[in-house]
Amino acid sequence: MFDGMTVAMVTPFRKGAVDLEATGRLIDFLIEGGTECIVISGSTGEAATCTVDERRALWRFAKERARGRVPLVAGTGTNNTAESIALTRMAEELGLDGAMIVTPFYNKPTPKGQIAHFTTVAKSTRLPLILYNVPGRTATNTMPETFEQVQGITNIVAVKEASGSLDQASAIRARTSLTLLSGDDSLTLPMIAVGASGIISVAGNAAPRAMRTLTDHARAGRLAEAEQSHRTLLPLFRALFVESNPGPVKFLLSAMGLIENELRLPLVPVEPATEKTVLAAATVAGIALPDLARARA
């Protein structure tokens, strides 16, 4: 479940509020571009700065707009188990197709605490869950041995692995039967080579068709074609993380005319030098840009 090319969607804002009109445009763009699943309110979606009411409205709108064309997964994990349960239950009540549970951040739980957290959230819902390991944001690495301990819980079905370690990804595959998903765009190809079934992508916000092509080639074993896709997209992968995600990709989406270039504090729009880097990488990746945006590159 959740194989293939999933996009970790940004949350469009306008004048301080969630921009549902732009959200609708973006959802249509992603689906028409070949996205196979969408994660809403993950770290790329700036979930930490969205209220519960905003999430509810966003998830309800996304469900209506997607119309069953692709599965929708809500990012419901926090560093508070009770709050994670409440958000996961809300996602289930709104009819979403799954939830993503990040390793609790700031608290720095031990493996025993991580197991207790994941288990307690999983037992509170019938939704299939993706567990999300991203030590760069959480300050805690969830190890393969921990995933091994929770794989027997029926609705824990996948791991988004963003530690950056291929050795760790390989160990998850060796120790568990969970679906392994890359959490880093630049590691899509090597992660699939060591057993991943897909990617939860940031770059896919702006280049869904190209990311789908890369993922399809890699999963089918067409390595020469996959490598060519990877090389074409590599400057974009790098550019989108010159500054904190989702700043660069939100700028690019605004240059494409899809959303406003607006983030929530403490995030701010990217610097002019980063804008040029992003636009140049987008051009290499074959992303269509309006004339004004091309002139700025």
| Residue at token pair 């989406």 | 253
132 annotated active-site: yes
Query: How far is 76 from 268, CA to CA, in rounded Å?
Result: 24
Q: Answer positive or negative: Cα dihedral of 113, 117, 123, 127.
A: negative
**Catalytic one of 63, 108, 112, 160:** 160
**Catalytic one of 63, 108, 123, 132:** 132
Query: How far is 85 from 283, CA to CA, in rounded Å?
Result: 42
Q: How far is CA 117 from CA 104, 137, 174, in A?
A: 8, 18, 23
Query: How far is 10 from 207, CA to CA, in rounded Å?
Result: 13
106 annotated active-site: no
Query: How far is 198 from 168, CA to CA, in rounded Å?
Result: 16
Q: Which residues are catalytic?
A: 132, 160
